């Protein structure tokens, strides 16, 4: 998959046309009552507002975001640390890269039942799922960043007498920073996905639980409202990560 | 085949790349276009090739007006423009394929020209496996395989190291004297311009105009080692430099 | 890479695998949680499942959903991506939908799909489609968009027709990206399949995993999980191999 950010549209106009057009079609199809499973957009917005004001959404979202943070922060710290070690030291890389590479593209959701077996049906499972989903992406990108450091820069620093720590601080880290940030950005997107999957599978808390609940009780408009909320969180997370990226890497 | 440009102008946005360019190139002549950056030499080449349309004026090939690309004109590019997924043989066949030449004839022609540019044995190699000089030979073979009357070359040796470049220049001259095509050659290098051409056309920048035309009366064949060392050669290069320096 | 280097790398990978197995065995012995099976019981359970526990029929059901969903994603997605790349305005608008689908945690759509299509193979195929199609489409689109302008110019210098420009230049040029989109789409298809089946439950490997868990037959569950992951990894490795084979010209 190309690692360019697909979220950067060529033109804002196209975005407006696309979303505006979708909204229009959605509203029309809903009003016409063509399908039981497509309620009008206006109906969804009303229900969404209701869920927001009566606290359901906020309560569920708070729970979800808590799990998100509990899973993502360790994944980021450990992921970058392991990535740096793997990037710098060949032995470490050879030891771990088999797992990292295969697990990155494996259906990690299959491992969630294992997590349930380990932790029981608790919110820790969600945090663990978030960790799992985001960890490997972060590691892989960090490794790429470190290994992509220009040879000539390393040689230059060595000539000026830089030691291991100096090399790390002044050459490897700044050089790898764009890739690390990309990994964190992709990891954040994956983390949100892990959050939803984990919550849906244990069906206990958060937005994922709401999705299952409204699905089971055939409350379709409510279901759409929660889906839109999840999308909103995903887009905001991705946007925040992108803003951070741009702020930190101005020399690019 | 001869080439005539009459009052050719072209602008890109707010930049006037070429203004009222008029020149004539005789059949079988080797002519170089040279000038500072922004003088429009590549644009002029592409207009002659039919890739870019002129805003005003016309291009006459063999006395006839032309509006687009044609079989009598073939182009060689600075960055080789080879299809990375195709073998050397397939790359050389490309122009012939588009011209509708049948498979056997195409293959035979391709092999012939691959040998002519000195790449016999590399027919099944991929561009990624070749050096820059070899890739450009493929580009040249492709351009020659369609048997054009006119060869348009856009700084073809710019991406090649100097030693390979000198050998290449002699090879090009050998191929040219063999088939006497009309060659329009764009370059930044003054030595290259004088060494290769019958005439050097100097263009001035912003907007591009014909500034001066130099006759290069050096004897042919040029690959005799003395030419580069001769007084006449040095004088011509120096003269060209004086002209160009005033245009910077 | 010399022969001794290769042996070193192999040695490391083996050591890594052994370390993992030892860690797993220790975890089982240390009784980290209720009935946490070690490697050996898992293998035994796996053999058991193959022989009579329905592993193969579950695999077949899963494979069917995967084939339907992923196949449709390929047949619809690649041409759509190509069209998007050629007809730029369509591309610029349609990519917004793909971007949204890629950003969205697609699992959130599963209850909706289940409600719409019911609990059957069509549902899981639809979920597989939604998980994989956006990537396949975007990669085909990107592949067309990123064709080197120089190659287009070169073809035009030989007076190429628009159709031939597409078949001889655009498509071969876009092929690497299309294939990597297919590979990534397949990994996403597996992800969607498993999530769908874990939630849908009456079907396939996901069902097997959930049923084993609910009956606290953890060794069977682990076996099913291991089998699923290996299957997915194997399929992806095959596609990767195919990709390398087709892209022989890449240095």
Whichever domain contains B127, its CATH number is: 3.40.50.300
CA–CA distance, A201 with B92 (Å, rounded to integer)? 58
Q: Is there a single domain that holds both residue C24 and residue C82?
A: no
Within this chain, do residues C67 and C134 fall inside the same structural domain, yes or no? yes
The verdict on pTM exceeding 0.90 is no
pLDDT of residue B74: 93
Distance between CA atoms of C154 and C159, rounded to whole angstroms? 9
pLDDT of residue C53: 67
In this structure, are residues A145 and A85 in contact, taking their beta carbons and an 8 Å threshold? no
Amino acid C32: pLDDT: 67
Of A178, A180, A200, A192, residue with least CA distance to A239:
A192
| pLDDT of A7 higher than 50 | no
A14, pLDDT greater than 60? yes
pLDDT of residue A251: 58
In three-state form (DSSP H/G/I as H, E/B as E, the rest C), the secondary structure along chain A is CCCCCCCCCCCHHHHHHHHHHHHHHHHHHHHHCCCCCCCCHHHHHHHHHHHHHCCHHHHHHHHHHHHHHHHHHHHHHHHHHHHHHHHHCHHHHHHHHHHHHHHHHCCHHHHHHHHHHHHCCCHHHHHHHHHHHHHHHHHHHHHHHHHCCCHHHHHHHHHCCCCHHHHHHHHHHHHHHHHHHHHHHHHHHHHHHHHHHHHHHHCCCHHHHHHHHHHHCCCHHHHHHHHHHHHHHHHHHHHHHHHHHHHHCCCC
Q: How confident is the model at residue C12 (pLDDT cuts 50, 70, 90)?
A: confident
Q: What angle do the packed helices C55-86 and C204-214 form, to 10 degrees?
A: 130
Whether A166 contacts chain C with CB within 8 A: no
> What's the CA gap between C102 and A228, in Å, rounded?
14
3-state DSSP assignment of residue B203:
strand
Domain extents in chain A: 42-248
- Number of domains chain B contains: 1
Residues 6+ apart with CB under 8 A from C197: C62, C65, C124, C203, C204, C205, C206, C207, C209
Residues C15 and C124 reside in one and the same domain: no
Whether pLDDT at A9 is above 50:
no
The CATH code belonging to domain A42-248 is 1.10.3720.10
Interface with chain C: mutation pick from A113, A125, A132, highest number of C CBs within 10 Å: A113
Cα–Cα dist B158/B33, whole Å: 14
Q: Is omega for the bond preceding C54 within 30 degrees of 0, making it cis?
A: no
Please tell me whether residues C120 and C84 are part of one structural domain. yes
- From the list B27, B52, B29, the residue with the least C-alpha distance to B213 is B29
* Number of domains present in the structure of chain C: 2
Confidence band of A57 (pLDDT split at 50, 70, 90): confident
CA B123 to chain centre: 24
Alpha-carbon distance of B145 to C152, in angstroms, equals 19
Other Cβ atoms less than 10 A from the Cβ of C118: the count is: 11
One domain for residues C155 and C62: yes
Q: Are A43 and A220 in contact (CB under 8 A)?
A: no
- Which chains border B (3 or more CB–CB pairs < 8 Å)? C
| Residue C13 CB-density burial (10 A; 0-12 exposed, 13-18 middle, 19+ buried) | middle
Given the DSSP bridges, would you call strands B182-186 and B150-154 parallel, antiparallel or unpaired? parallel
Of all residues in chain B, the one with the smallest CA distance to C149 is B81
* Contact present, B186 and B170 (Cβ < 8 Å): no
Residue B61 forms beta bridges with which residues? B3, B64
Q: Does A230 touch chain C (CB under 8 A)?
A: yes
Which residue is it, tokens 């044609």? Answer: B70
Q: Is the pLDDT of residue C33 over 80?
A: no
Query: Burial, B184: exposed, middle or buried (Cβ in 10 Å; 0-12, 13-18, 19+)?
Result: buried
- C24 shares its domain with C110: no
pLDDT tens digits for chain B (248 residues)? Answer: 899 999 999 999 888 999 999 999 999 999 999 999 888 999 999 999 999 999 999 999 998 999 889 889 999 999 999 999 999 999 999 999 998 899 999 999 999 999 999 999 999 999 999 999 999 999 999 999 999 999 999 999 998 888 999 999 999 999 998 888 999 999 999 999 999 999 999 999 888 899 999 999 888 888 766 888 889 999 999 999 999 999 88
Percent of chain C with pLDDT over 90: 43
pLDDT of residue A116: 84
Q: Are residues C3 and C76 in the same domain?
A: no
How many residues in total does chain B contain? Answer: 248
C195 lies in the same domain as C241: yes
Percent of chain A past pLDDT 90, that is, above it, reads 31
| Averaged pLDDT for residues A196-217 | 87
Q: Is the peptide bond before B84 cis (omega within 30 degrees of 0)?
A: no
Q: What is the pLDDT confidence band of residue C1, given thresholds at 50, 70 and 90? A: low
Q: Is C50 helix (H, G, I), strand (E, B) or coil?
A: helix
Non-local (6+) Cβ contacts of A161 within 8 A are none
Residues near B248 by beta carbon (within 8 Å), at least 6 away in sequence: B36
A2 — pLDDT class (breaks 50, 70, 90): very low
Residue C202 has pLDDT above 80, yes or no: no
Chain A interface test: which of C37, C89, C107 (most A C-beta within 10 Å): C107
Model confidence at A11: pLDDT above 70: no
A242 contacts in chain C (CB < 8 Å): none
Distance from CA of B191 to the nearest CA of C (A): 27
What is the rounded average pLDDT of the residues C69-86?
95
Element holding B237 (H helix, E strand):
helix B231-247
pLDDT of A8 over the 70 cut: no
- Of B199, B148, B215, B193, which Cα lies nearest the Cα of B175? B148
Domain of residue C189, CATH code: 1.10.3720.10
> Can you list the alpha helix ranges (DSSP code H) found in B76-155?
88-98, 103-116, 132-145
Contact criterion met (CB < 8 Å) for C153 and B49: no
Residues near B102 by beta carbon (within 8 Å), at least 6 away in sequence = none
Q: Is residue C170 part of a domain?
A: yes
Nearest CA in chain C to B128: C251
Tell me the nearest-neighbour CA distance from B113 into chain C, angstroms. 17
Examine chains A and B and say if they touch (3+ CB pairs below 8 A): no
CA dihedral (C90, C96, C101, C103) positive or negative:
positive
- Chain B touched by C249 (CB under 8 Å): yes
- In angstroms, what separates the C-alpha of B166 from chain C's closest C-alpha? 25
- Tell me what pLDDT residue B49 has: 92
| Interface touch B81/C169, C-beta < 8 Å | no
Number of B–C residue contacts, CB under 8 Å: 59
List the single residue in A116, A197, A226 with the smallest CB-CB distance to C107: A197
What is the per-residue pLDDT across A123-168, written as a single tens digit (0 to 9) for each? 899 999 999 999 999 999 999 999 998 888 888 888 887 888 888 8
C150 pLDDT band, cuts 50/70/90, is: very high
Q: How far is CA B140 from the centre of its chain?
A: 10
Tokens of A164: 């291991």
C-beta atoms of C225 and A113 within 8 A: yes
Q: Which domain does C127 fall in, by range? A: 39-246
Residue A3 has pLDDT above 60, yes or no: no
Which of the four pLDDT bands, split at 50, 70 and 90, describes residue A195?
very high
Q: Is residue C185 part of a domain?
A: yes
For B87, the domain range is 3-247
Q: Identify whether C251 is part of a domain.
A: no
| DSSP codes joined into one string, C67-115 | HHHHHHHHHHHHHHHHHHHHSHHHHHHHHHHHHHHHHS-GGGGHHHHHH
Tokens linked to B106: 């195409």
């Amino acid at each position: 998959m190309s690692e360019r950010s697909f979220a950067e549209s060529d033109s804002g106009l196209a975005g407006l046309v696309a979303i505006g057009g979708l909204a229009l079609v959605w509203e029309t199809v809903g009003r016409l009552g063509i399908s039981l499973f497509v309620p009008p957009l206006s109906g969804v917005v009303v229900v969404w507002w209701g869920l927001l004001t009566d606290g359901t959404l906020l309560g569920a979202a708070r729970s979800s975001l808590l799990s998100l943070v509990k899973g993502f922060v360790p994944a980021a710290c450990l992921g970058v640390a392991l990535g740096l070690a793997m990037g710098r030291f060949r032995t470490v890389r050879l030891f771990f890269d088999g797992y990292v590479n295969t697990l990155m593209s494996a259906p990690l959701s299959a491992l969630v039942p294992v997590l349930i077996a380990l932790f029981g049906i608790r919110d820790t499972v969600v945090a663990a799922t978030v960790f799992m989903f985001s960890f490997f992406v972060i590691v892989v990108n960090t490794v790429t960043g470190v290994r992509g450091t220009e040879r000539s820069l390393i040689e230059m620093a060595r000539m000026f007498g830089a030691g291991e720590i100096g090399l790390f601080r002044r050459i490897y880290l700044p050089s790898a920073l764009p890739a690390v940030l990309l990994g964190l950005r992709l990891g954040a997107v994956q983390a949100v996905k892990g959050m939803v999957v984990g919550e849906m599978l244990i069906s206990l808390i958060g937005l994922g639980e709401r999705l299952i609940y409204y699905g089971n009780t055939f409350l379709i408009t409510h279901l759409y409202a929660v889906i839109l909320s999840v999308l909103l969180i995903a887009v905001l997370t991705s946007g925040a990560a992108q803003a951070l990226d741009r702020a930190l890497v101005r020399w690019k | 085949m001869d080439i005539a440009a009459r009052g050719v102008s072209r602008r890109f946005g707010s930049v006037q790349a070429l203004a009222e360019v008029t020149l004539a190139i005789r059949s079988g002549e080797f002519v170089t276009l040279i000038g500072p950056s922004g003088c429009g030499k590549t644009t002029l080449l592409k207009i002659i090739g039919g890739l870019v349309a002129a805003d005003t004026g016309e291009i006459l090939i063999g006395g006839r007006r032309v509006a687009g690309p044609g079989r009598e004109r073939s182009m060689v590019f600075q960055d080789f423009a080879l299809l990375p997924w195709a073998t050397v043989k397939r790359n050389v066949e490309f122009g012939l394929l588009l011209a509708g030449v049948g498979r056997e004839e195409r293959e035979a022609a391709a092999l012939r020209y691959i040998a002519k540019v000195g790449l016999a044995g590399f027919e099944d190699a991929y561009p990624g496996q070749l050096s820059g000089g070899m890739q450009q030979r493929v580009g040249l073979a492709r351009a020659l395989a369609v048997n054009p009357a006119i060869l348009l070359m856009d700084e073809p040796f710019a991406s090649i190291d100097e030693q390979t470049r000198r050998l290449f220049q002699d090879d090009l001259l050998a191929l040219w004297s063999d088939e006497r095509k009309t060659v329009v050659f764009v370059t930044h290098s003054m030595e290259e311009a004088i060494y290769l051409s019958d005439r050097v056309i100097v263009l001035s920048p912003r907007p591009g105009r014909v500034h001066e035309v130099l006759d290069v009366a050096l004897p042919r064949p040029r690959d005799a080692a003395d030419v580069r060392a001769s007084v006449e050669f040095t004088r011509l290069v120096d003269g060209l430099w004086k002209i160009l320096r005033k245009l910077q | 890479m010399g022969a001794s280097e290769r042996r070193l790398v192999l040695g490391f990978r083996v050591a890594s695998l052994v370390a993992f197995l030892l860690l797993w065995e220790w975890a089982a012995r240390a009784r980290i949680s209720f009935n946490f099976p070690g490697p050996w019981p898992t293998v035994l359970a796996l053999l058991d499942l193959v022989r009579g526990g329905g592993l193969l029929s579950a695999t077949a059901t899963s494979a069917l959903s995967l084939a339907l969903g992923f196949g449709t994603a390929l047949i619809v997605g690649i041409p759509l991506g190509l069209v998007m790349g050629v007809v730029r305005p369509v591309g610029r608008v349609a990519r917004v939908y793909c971007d949204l689908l890629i950003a969205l945690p697609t699992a959130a759509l599963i209850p909706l799909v289940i409600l719409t299509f019911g609990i059957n193979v069509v549902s899981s195929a639809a979920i597989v489609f939604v998980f994989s199609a956006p990537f396949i489409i975007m990669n085909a689109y990107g592949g067309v968009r990123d064709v080197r302008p120089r190659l287009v110019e070169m073809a035009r210098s030989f007076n190429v027709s628009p159709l031939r420009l597409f078949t001889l230049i655009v498509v071969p040029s876009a092929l690497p990206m299309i294939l990597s989109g297919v590979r990534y789409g397949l990994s996403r298809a597996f992800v969607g399949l498993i999530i769908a089946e874990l939630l849908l439950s009456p079907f396939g490997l996901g069902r097997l995993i959930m049923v084993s868990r609910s009956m606290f037959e953890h060794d069977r569950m682990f076996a099913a999980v291991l089998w699923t992951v290996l299957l997915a990894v194997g399929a992806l490795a095959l596609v990767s191999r195919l990709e390398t084979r087709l892209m022989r010209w890449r240095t």
